[in-house]
A = this chain, B = another copy of it.
Protein backbone atom coordinates (compact mmCIF):
# COMPACT_ATOMS: atom_id res chain seq x y z
CA UNK A 1 0.00 0.00 0.00
CA UNK A 2 1.82 3.07 -1.19
CA UNK A 3 -0.95 5.66 -0.91
CA UNK A 4 -1.17 7.49 2.39
CA UNK A 5 -4.18 6.58 4.47
CA UNK A 6 -4.74 9.68 6.54
CA UNK A 7 -7.31 8.27 8.90
CA UNK A 8 -5.76 4.97 9.73
CA UNK A 9 -4.42 4.92 13.27
CA UNK A 10 -0.77 4.12 13.90
CA UNK A 11 -0.10 0.55 15.02
CA UNK A 12 2.71 -1.14 16.89
CA UNK A 13 4.06 -2.13 13.50
CA UNK A 14 4.17 1.52 12.34
CA UNK A 15 5.93 2.58 15.52
CA UNK A 16 8.47 -0.20 15.21
CA UNK A 17 9.22 0.84 11.62
CA UNK A 18 9.48 4.53 12.50
CA UNK A 19 11.69 3.89 15.52
CA UNK A 20 13.84 1.31 13.77
CA UNK A 21 13.04 -1.23 16.51
CA UNK A 22 11.44 -4.64 16.53
CA UNK A 23 7.73 -5.02 17.29
CA UNK A 24 8.71 -7.02 20.35
CA UNK A 25 10.63 -4.06 21.72
CA UNK A 26 7.67 -1.77 21.10
CA UNK A 27 5.41 -4.26 22.85
CA UNK A 28 7.73 -4.34 25.86
CA UNK A 29 7.51 -0.54 26.11
CA UNK A 30 3.72 -0.72 25.92
CA UNK A 31 3.50 -3.48 28.49
CA UNK A 32 6.03 -2.02 30.90
CA UNK A 33 8.76 -4.57 30.24
CA UNK A 34 12.52 -3.93 30.26
CA UNK A 35 13.89 -1.86 27.36
CA UNK A 36 17.10 0.16 27.12
CA UNK A 37 16.72 3.88 27.78
CA UNK A 38 17.83 4.61 24.24
CA UNK A 39 15.29 2.26 22.65
CA UNK A 40 12.56 3.59 24.90
CA UNK A 41 13.31 7.19 23.88
CA UNK A 42 13.25 6.30 20.17
CA UNK A 43 9.96 4.45 20.56
CA UNK A 44 8.33 7.19 22.61
CA UNK A 45 9.36 9.75 20.01
CA UNK A 46 7.86 7.59 17.24
CA UNK A 47 4.63 7.19 19.24
CA UNK A 48 4.36 10.89 19.71
CA UNK A 49 5.19 11.64 16.04
CA UNK A 50 2.63 9.15 14.78
CA UNK A 51 -0.05 10.21 17.27
CA UNK A 52 -0.20 6.64 18.58
CA UNK A 53 -2.86 5.75 21.11
CA UNK A 54 -3.10 2.26 22.61
CA UNK A 55 -5.90 0.26 21.03
CA UNK A 56 -8.50 -0.48 23.66
CA UNK A 57 -10.22 -2.95 21.39
CA UNK A 58 -7.06 -5.02 21.85
CA UNK A 59 -7.25 -4.53 25.58
CA UNK A 60 -10.95 -5.45 25.57
CA UNK A 61 -10.10 -8.61 23.71
CA UNK A 62 -7.36 -9.55 26.15
CA UNK A 63 -9.47 -8.76 29.20
CA UNK A 64 -12.61 -10.12 27.61
CA UNK A 65 -14.32 -7.02 28.97
CA UNK A 66 -15.16 -3.94 26.94
CA UNK A 67 -16.31 -1.80 29.86
CA UNK A 68 -19.23 -0.86 27.60
CA UNK A 69 -22.92 -1.55 28.12
CA UNK A 70 -25.52 -1.31 25.36
CA UNK A 71 -28.75 0.61 25.77
CA UNK A 72 -31.02 -0.90 23.16
CA UNK A 73 -34.11 1.06 22.21
CA UNK A 74 -36.57 -1.02 20.27
CA UNK A 75 -39.32 1.00 18.58
CA UNK A 76 -37.08 4.06 18.59
CA UNK A 77 -39.34 6.04 16.34
CA UNK A 78 -42.15 6.34 18.85
CA UNK A 79 -39.72 6.33 21.78
CA UNK A 80 -37.50 9.15 20.63
CA UNK A 81 -40.13 11.26 18.98
CA UNK A 82 -43.13 10.82 21.27
CA UNK A 83 -41.99 9.56 24.63
CA UNK A 84 -40.18 12.15 26.70
CA UNK A 85 -39.37 9.48 29.29
CA UNK A 86 -36.82 7.72 27.13
CA UNK A 87 -34.39 10.62 27.44
CA UNK A 88 -34.64 10.52 31.23
CA UNK A 89 -34.25 6.74 31.33
CA UNK A 90 -31.13 7.02 29.14
CA UNK A 91 -29.60 9.75 31.24
CA UNK A 92 -30.37 7.84 34.44
CA UNK A 93 -28.72 4.70 33.08
CA UNK A 94 -25.74 6.65 31.74
CA UNK A 95 -25.15 8.39 35.07
CA UNK A 96 -25.10 5.08 36.97
CA UNK A 97 -22.85 3.36 34.42
CA UNK A 98 -20.57 6.39 34.28
CA UNK A 99 -20.01 6.26 38.03
CA UNK A 100 -18.86 2.67 37.60
CA UNK A 101 -16.61 3.78 34.73
CA UNK A 102 -18.60 1.98 32.07
CA UNK A 103 -19.38 3.45 28.68
CA UNK A 104 -23.04 3.34 27.71
CA UNK A 105 -23.63 2.90 23.98
CA UNK A 106 -27.15 3.45 22.69
CA UNK A 107 -28.21 1.29 19.78
CA UNK A 108 -31.24 2.07 17.68
CA UNK A 109 -33.27 -0.81 16.25
CA UNK A 110 -35.67 0.50 13.65
CA UNK A 111 -35.50 -1.97 10.77
CA UNK A 112 -34.93 -5.67 10.15
CA UNK A 113 -31.49 -4.64 8.95
CA UNK A 114 -30.84 -2.94 12.30
CA UNK A 115 -32.05 -6.00 14.18
CA UNK A 116 -29.58 -8.29 12.46
CA UNK A 117 -26.67 -5.94 12.78
CA UNK A 118 -27.37 -5.09 16.44
CA UNK A 119 -27.64 -8.80 17.19
CA UNK A 120 -24.19 -9.30 15.64
CA UNK A 121 -22.87 -6.30 17.58
CA UNK A 122 -24.18 -7.62 20.89
CA UNK A 123 -22.66 -11.02 20.24
CA UNK A 124 -19.38 -9.58 19.00
CA UNK A 125 -17.63 -8.73 22.24
CA UNK A 126 -18.18 -4.98 21.94
CA UNK A 127 -20.33 -4.78 25.06
CA UNK A 128 -20.42 -6.56 28.41
CA UNK A 129 -24.15 -6.25 28.88
CA UNK A 130 -27.37 -4.75 27.55
CA UNK A 131 -30.28 -2.71 28.86
CA UNK A 132 -33.29 -3.34 26.65
CA UNK A 133 -36.19 -0.90 26.47
CA UNK A 134 -39.55 -1.70 25.01
CA UNK A 135 -38.96 -5.34 24.17
CA UNK A 136 -41.66 -7.36 22.45
CA UNK A 137 -42.21 -11.07 22.59
CA UNK A 138 -40.08 -13.00 20.12
CA UNK A 139 -37.86 -10.08 19.27
CA UNK A 140 -34.69 -11.56 17.72
CA UNK A 141 -32.57 -9.29 19.91
CA UNK A 142 -33.98 -10.99 23.00
CA UNK A 143 -33.10 -14.39 21.60
CA UNK A 144 -29.51 -13.27 20.98
CA UNK A 145 -29.16 -11.95 24.52
CA UNK A 146 -30.64 -15.09 25.91
CA UNK A 147 -28.49 -17.40 23.78
CA UNK A 148 -25.33 -15.54 24.68
CA UNK A 149 -26.12 -15.31 28.38
CA UNK A 150 -25.18 -11.67 27.99
CA UNK A 151 -25.81 -9.82 31.26
CA UNK A 152 -29.04 -7.98 30.56
CA UNK A 153 -31.85 -6.03 32.15
CA UNK A 154 -35.19 -5.05 30.75
CA UNK A 155 -36.92 -1.76 31.27
CA UNK A 156 -40.53 -2.74 31.61
CA UNK A 157 -41.90 -6.27 31.78
CA UNK A 158 -39.76 -8.75 29.90
CA UNK A 159 -41.60 -10.23 26.94
CA UNK A 160 -41.35 -13.80 28.25
CA UNK A 161 -41.84 -14.16 31.95
CA UNK A 162 -40.09 -17.51 32.13
CA UNK A 163 -36.84 -15.91 31.07
CA UNK A 164 -34.04 -15.47 33.49
CA UNK A 165 -33.52 -11.79 32.80
CA UNK A 166 -34.23 -9.31 35.60
CA UNK A 167 -36.26 -6.21 34.92
CA UNK A 168 -37.15 -2.89 36.43
CA UNK A 169 -40.48 -1.26 35.88
CA UNK A 170 -43.65 -0.04 37.48
CA UNK A 171 -46.94 -1.59 38.51
CA UNK A 172 -49.02 -0.54 35.51
CA UNK A 173 -52.17 -2.32 36.68
CA UNK A 174 -52.12 -0.78 40.16
CA UNK A 175 -51.19 2.70 38.90
CA UNK A 176 -53.93 2.71 36.25
CA UNK A 177 -56.41 1.52 38.83
CA UNK A 178 -55.45 4.29 41.26
CA UNK A 179 -55.72 7.10 38.72
CA UNK A 180 -59.06 5.79 37.43
CA UNK A 181 -60.36 5.64 41.01
CA UNK A 182 -59.34 9.27 41.36
CA UNK A 183 -61.72 10.12 38.48
CA UNK A 184 -64.53 8.03 39.97
CA UNK A 185 -64.24 9.41 43.49
CA UNK A 186 -64.22 12.91 41.94
CA UNK A 187 -67.82 12.26 40.88
CA UNK A 188 -67.30 11.32 37.20
CA UNK A 189 -70.03 8.92 36.04
CA UNK A 190 -69.30 8.10 32.38
CA UNK A 191 -65.60 7.33 32.39
CA UNK A 192 -63.82 6.28 29.23
CA UNK A 193 -60.28 5.29 28.40
CA UNK A 194 -57.97 5.97 25.47
CA UNK A 195 -56.01 2.71 25.56
CA UNK A 196 -52.78 2.44 23.58
CA UNK A 197 -50.20 -0.14 22.62
CA UNK A 198 -52.37 -3.15 23.40
CA UNK A 199 -49.70 -5.38 21.90
CA UNK A 200 -47.45 -4.57 24.86
CA UNK A 201 -47.60 -5.34 28.55
CA UNK A 202 -47.74 -1.69 29.54
CA UNK A 203 -50.77 -1.12 27.31
CA UNK A 204 -52.55 -4.30 28.38
CA UNK A 205 -51.85 -3.68 32.07
CA UNK A 206 -53.11 -0.08 32.02
CA UNK A 207 -56.37 -1.25 30.46
CA UNK A 208 -56.64 -4.02 33.07
CA UNK A 209 -56.19 -1.49 35.88
CA UNK A 210 -58.84 0.77 34.37
CA UNK A 211 -61.24 -2.14 34.14
CA UNK A 212 -60.53 -3.25 37.70
CA UNK A 213 -61.19 0.24 39.07
CA UNK A 214 -64.59 0.48 37.40
CA UNK A 215 -65.70 -3.06 38.18
CA UNK A 216 -69.32 -3.58 37.11
CA UNK A 217 -69.45 -0.03 35.69
CA UNK A 218 -66.86 -0.92 33.06
CA UNK A 219 -68.24 -0.41 29.56
CA UNK A 220 -66.14 -1.74 26.66
CA UNK A 221 -67.83 0.81 24.38
CA UNK A 222 -66.04 3.56 26.26
CA UNK A 223 -62.58 2.22 25.44
CA UNK A 224 -60.95 3.75 22.35
CA UNK A 225 -58.05 1.63 21.18
CA UNK A 226 -55.17 3.56 19.56
CA UNK A 227 -51.82 2.21 18.33
CA UNK A 228 -49.29 4.55 19.97
CA UNK A 229 -48.69 6.57 23.12
CA UNK A 230 -48.57 9.78 21.10
CA UNK A 231 -50.37 13.10 20.79
CA UNK A 232 -52.02 12.36 17.44
CA UNK A 233 -53.49 9.14 18.83
CA UNK A 234 -54.93 11.18 21.70
CA UNK A 235 -56.72 13.58 19.35
CA UNK A 236 -58.21 10.70 17.35
CA UNK A 237 -59.10 8.60 20.39
CA UNK A 238 -60.91 11.45 22.10
CA UNK A 239 -62.92 12.32 18.97
CA UNK A 240 -63.88 8.70 18.76
CA UNK A 241 -65.07 8.58 22.39
CA UNK A 242 -67.09 11.80 22.04
CA UNK A 243 -68.82 10.32 19.02
CA UNK A 244 -69.63 7.08 20.83
CA UNK A 245 -70.99 8.83 23.91
CA UNK A 246 -71.35 12.62 24.05
CA UNK A 247 -72.18 12.40 27.77
CA UNK A 248 -68.70 11.15 28.67
CA UNK A 249 -67.39 13.13 31.68
CA UNK A 250 -64.11 11.43 32.55
CA UNK A 251 -61.18 10.10 30.49
CA UNK A 252 -58.12 8.10 31.48
CA UNK A 253 -55.51 8.55 28.76
CA UNK A 254 -52.81 5.84 28.67
CA UNK A 255 -50.06 8.48 28.44
CA UNK A 256 -49.62 12.21 29.01
CA UNK A 257 -49.04 12.76 25.28
CA UNK A 258 -52.37 11.06 24.59
CA UNK A 259 -54.02 13.19 27.29
CA UNK A 260 -52.59 16.33 25.67
CA UNK A 261 -54.11 15.25 22.35
CA UNK A 262 -57.42 14.54 24.11
CA UNK A 263 -57.41 18.08 25.52
CA UNK A 264 -57.12 19.43 21.99
CA UNK A 265 -60.06 17.34 20.77
CA UNK A 266 -62.14 18.42 23.78
CA UNK A 267 -61.29 22.07 23.18
CA UNK A 268 -62.30 21.68 19.52
CA UNK A 269 -65.59 20.12 20.65
CA UNK A 270 -66.24 23.02 23.00
CA UNK A 271 -65.91 20.97 26.20
CA UNK A 272 -64.19 22.48 29.21
CA UNK A 273 -61.61 20.59 31.27
CA UNK A 274 -62.02 19.83 34.14
CA UNK A 275 -65.53 21.41 34.15
CA UNK A 276 -67.27 19.21 31.57
CA UNK A 277 -64.75 16.40 31.38
CA UNK A 278 -62.04 15.32 33.79
CA UNK A 279 -58.88 14.07 32.05
CA UNK A 280 -56.02 12.12 33.62
CA UNK A 281 -52.80 10.93 32.01
CA UNK A 282 -49.91 8.60 32.73
CA UNK A 283 -46.13 9.30 32.90
CA UNK A 284 -45.73 12.72 34.51
CA UNK A 285 -43.57 13.64 31.55
CA UNK A 286 -42.92 17.18 30.33
CA UNK A 287 -46.27 16.91 28.52
CA UNK A 288 -48.08 17.03 31.84
CA UNK A 289 -46.96 20.55 32.66
CA UNK A 290 -47.11 21.87 29.10
CA UNK A 291 -50.83 21.29 28.79
CA UNK A 292 -53.62 23.71 29.54
CA UNK A 293 -54.87 22.73 32.07
CA UNK A 294 -51.86 20.89 33.50
CA UNK A 295 -52.41 17.17 33.88
CA UNK A 296 -53.30 15.08 36.87
CA UNK A 297 -51.28 11.96 36.18
CA UNK A 298 -49.22 8.98 37.38
CA UNK A 299 -45.56 9.75 38.08
CA UNK A 300 -43.13 7.38 36.36
CA UNK A 301 -39.69 7.62 37.97
CA UNK A 302 -37.90 7.52 34.62
CA UNK A 303 -34.43 8.52 35.79
CA UNK A 304 -34.54 5.99 38.64
CA UNK A 305 -35.73 3.29 36.25
CA UNK A 306 -32.66 3.90 34.07
CA UNK A 307 -30.40 3.92 37.08
CA UNK A 308 -31.84 0.67 38.47
CA UNK A 309 -31.51 -1.06 35.10
CA UNK A 310 -27.84 -0.05 35.02
CA UNK A 311 -27.35 -1.41 38.55
CA UNK A 312 -28.84 -4.74 37.47
CA UNK A 313 -26.16 -4.99 34.77
CA UNK A 314 -23.32 -3.88 37.05
CA UNK A 315 -24.31 -6.48 39.66
CA UNK A 316 -24.19 -9.22 37.04
CA UNK A 317 -20.76 -8.01 35.92
CA UNK A 318 -19.61 -8.37 39.54
CA UNK A 319 -20.74 -11.99 39.38
CA UNK A 320 -23.96 -11.53 41.36
CA UNK A 321 -27.23 -13.04 40.26
CA UNK A 322 -30.02 -10.53 40.70
CA UNK A 323 -33.47 -11.95 41.31
CA UNK A 324 -34.83 -12.67 37.84
CA UNK A 325 -38.14 -11.19 38.97
CA UNK A 326 -38.88 -7.57 38.62
CA UNK A 327 -38.11 -4.53 40.65
CA UNK A 328 -41.17 -2.27 40.69
CA UNK A 329 -40.62 1.37 41.55
CA UNK A 330 -43.32 3.49 43.23
CA UNK A 331 -45.60 5.64 41.08
CA UNK A 332 -47.31 8.34 43.14
CA UNK A 333 -50.32 10.17 41.69
CA UNK A 334 -49.63 13.80 40.86
CA UNK A 335 -52.71 15.96 41.28
CA UNK A 336 -52.85 19.02 39.02
CA UNK A 337 -55.71 20.80 37.26
CA UNK A 338 -57.17 18.49 34.65
CA UNK A 339 -59.24 16.33 37.04
Contacts and interface: CB of A to CB of B under 8 A. Distances in A.
A80 B286 CA distance: 12
Nearest to A260: B290
A286 B81 contact: yes
A92 to B, nearest CB: 11
Given A5-B319, A81-B88, A148-B9, A110 B94 contact: yes
6 contacts: A6-B149, A55-B61, A76-B90, A94-B108, A101-B117, A292-B292
A125 interface: yes
A87 interface: yes
How many copies of the polypeptide does the oligomer hold? Answer: 2
Nearest to A107: B105
B149 A51 contact: yes
A-side interface size class:
35 or more
A98 B111 contact: yes
A71 B87 CA distance: 15
B121 A68 contact: yes
Contact of A64 (B9, B59, B60, B117): B9
Interface of A: 5-9, 11, 51, 53-61, 64, 66, 68, 71, 76-77, 79-82, 84, 86-88, 90-91, 94-95, 98-99, 101, 103-108, 110-111, 113-114, 117-118, 120-121, 123-126, 147-151, 231, 260, 264, 267, 286, 290, 292, 316-317, 319, 321
A91 B9 CA distance: 29
The 9 closest A-B CB pairs, nearest first, are: A56-B124, A80-B87, A106-B106, A57-B125, A105-B105, A55-B125, A94-B108, A53-B123, A81-B87
Nearest to A108: B94
Contact of A91 (B61, B76, B267, B286): B76
B51 A120 contact: no
Given A80-B91, A94-B114, A292-B267, A56 B121 contact: yes
Contacts of A117: 98, 101, 103
A105 to B, nearest CB: 4
A117 B231 CA distance: 37
Contacts of A54: 124
